[in-house]
Amino acid sequence: MPKKNHAPAKRKSALSVALGIVLLSASIVVALAGFIIIPQEEKQPEITEQILGYSGYTRVIGQQEYKCYEHLARREMDDDRDSKLLAQNTKKLAQTANAQFFLGNKLGLYGPYSFEYLQEQMKHENAARAIKKEQGQAIYGPEVFDIYTYYQYVSSNLEVDIIDYLATHADASILAKTRTYFEENKKDYDHPEQVVYTLSENANSEVYTLDWRQLNSLESADSQLAHFLREGSENQEWSYMFGKLQRNVKIQSVTYVKTDFEQQKTTIVSDFLKNGYYKKLLQEIEKNNPVAFSENI
**Per-residue pLDDT tens over the stretch 225-274:** 999 998 899 999 999 999 889 999 999 999 988 899 999 999 999 999 99
pTM given for the model: 0.72
pLDDT tens digit sequence for 61-91: 999 999 999 999 999 999 889 999 999 999 9
Q: Evaluate if residue 33 carries a pLDDT over 80.
A: no
* Average pLDDT score over the chain: 88
Dihedral Cα 27, 28, 33, 35, nearest 10 deg? 130
Task: Please list the alpha-helical segments (H only) found in the chain.
Answer: 7-33, 47-53, 63-75, 83-106, 115-134, 147-168, 172-184, 212-221, 223-231, 265-272, 278-288
Residue 241's DSSP bridge partners are: 246
Three-state secondary structure of 63-130: HHHHHHHHHHHHHCCCCCCCHHHHHHHHHHHHHHHHHHHHHHHHCCCCCCCCHHHHHHHHHHHHHHHH
Dihedral Cα 211, 216, 221, 227, nearest 10 deg? 90
Q: Evaluate if residue 4 carries a pLDDT over 60.
A: no
